[in-house]
Amino acid sequence: MNVKKLLIIRFSSIGDMVLTTPAIRCLKKQKPEIEIHYLTKKVFNPVIEANPYIDKIHLLDNSLRSVIEDLKSENIDFIVDLHRNIRSRIVISRLQKPSAAFPKLNAYKWLLVNTKINLLPDIHIVHRYLKALQKLRIRYDGQGLDYVIPEKDRLDLSQILPDDFQNGYMLVVVGGKHNTKQIPEHKLVDICNQAKYPVVIAGGDEDRYMADEISKKLEVPGYNACGKYSINGSAYLVQQSAVVLTPDTGLMHIAAAFHKPLVTMWGNTVPDFGMYPFLPDEKQDSYRILEIKDLNCRPCSKIGFERCPKGHFRCMNDIPVEDALQAIREVTGR
């Protein structure tokens, strides 16, 4: 297939966009003659704006029609749909170009959530994204995810964090889009106090109150970074950390992109959905997954809820603090 210009579509979210980066890198390195265009929402531009393998980024703000008109002028040859929603289908139909999409597996996810019958293939979503490039004979290179922080977004940690953070800190992610993905406050406090690291708490502005409450109960040095920095500023805090403790969030995937020692705690969602940490082949032992596998109510959703439908939130509450501490020791070697 003679492809000079290729368009990749992914409208959300931060984590999903990070997970598309192996496909972009492999495509550019194995087919350097192809000009890669990327279509996403304007709010997610910081995640990919410094990616060296993307030639041009197209941003959807309000008008899909104007974006499509701009894309028509580019004379795109081939479209890779890594979102598969109504918007991406509209783009494909209006451009009238050959396209490929990844297997979304929504029926299998629905079956697992609603019947607890698991017929999902044991394949990470990164490899499903790469399947969309099969027509171009693109192969995975084993190098994991990419995340590039623009120079303008790099923080001066010597001016931000006290001296006792300079020898290494644990970055703890609070919040998350859905409450049933979040690590409970009391559990985070217990883990942080016993892990003996200075703690940087990361999250959005909406998580600042919870982070303040956690900070008040810490017996180790703590710094509340929630809402203070852009996504790239938070990514820089992840990159400079000694270890990351997180639920199923976008920062989990950013930590994986930086090959950080990583401990993940899973609530209502499950790694079986295929979006667990994705690291280079030689770094597979640098992360741990903590979950309660034998709960008959889990997973209760492929996304999440405001509160536990059963009222007990056992999927998070039953994860032993000692298991988290042991996982931190294992991935850090201390």
pLDDT, one tens digit per residue, over 156-208 is 999 999 999 989 999 999 977 789 999 999 999 999 999 999 999 999 999 99
User: What SS3 class is residue 295?
Assistant: coil
Q: Is the peptide bond before 13 cis (omega within 30 degrees of 0)?
A: yes
Give the model's pLDDT for residue 331: 97
Gap between the Cα atoms of 241 and 198, Å rounded: 10
The predicted pLDDT at position 177 comes to: 75
pLDDT above 70 covers a percentage of the chain that reads: 100
The per-residue pLDDT for range 309-327, each reduced to its tens digit, is: 999 999 999 999 999 999 9
* Three-state secondary structure string covering 35-85: EEEEEEEHHHHHHHCCCCCCCEEEEECCCHHHHHHHHHHHCCCEEEECCCC
pLDDT digits (tens, 9 = 90+) for 132-157: 999 999 999 999 999 999 999 999 99
Backbone Cα Rg of the chain: 20
CB 319 within 8 A of CB 327: no
CA distance 113 to 257: 28
| Strands across the sheet containing 56-60 | 56-60, 35-41, 5-9, 78-81, 99-101
Q: What angle do CA 276, 177, 51 make, to 5 degrees?
A: 60
Query: Does residue 282 register a pLDDT over 80?
Result: yes
Q: Minimal CA–CA distance to 207: which of 223, 225, 222?
A: 225
Closest alpha carbon to 7 in 47, 60, 50: 60
Q: Is 27 left (phi over 0), alpha (psi -120 to 50) or beta?
A: alpha
Task: Find, among 234, 162, 250, the residue nearest to 201 by Cα.
Answer: 234
- For 288, the enclosing helix (H) or strand (E) is strand 287-290
Mean pLDDT of the chain: 96
pTM: 0.96
Q: List domains and CATH numbers for the chain.
A: 5-136 (3.40.50.2000), 153-332 (3.40.50.2000)
Question: Is the pLDDT confidence value at 223 over 80?
Answer: yes
Angstrom distance (rounded) from CA 301 to CA 305: 8
Neighbouring CB atoms inside 10 A of 216's CB total: 9
> Mind listing the pLDDT tens digit for each residue in 55-87?
999 999 989 999 999 999 999 999 999 999 999
pLDDT of residue 178: 85
Q: Which two tokens stand for residue 22?
A: 């192996």
φ, ψ at 185 (rounded to 5°): -55, -45
- Within the chain, residue ranges assigned H as helices are 14-19, 21-30, 45-48, 64-74, 86-95, 106-115, 125-131, 157-160, 185-195, 208-216, 231-239, 250-257, 314-317, 321-332
Rounded distance between C-alpha atoms, residue 244 and residue 331, angstroms = 10
Q: Pairing mode, if any, of strands 78-81 and 243-246? A: unpaired
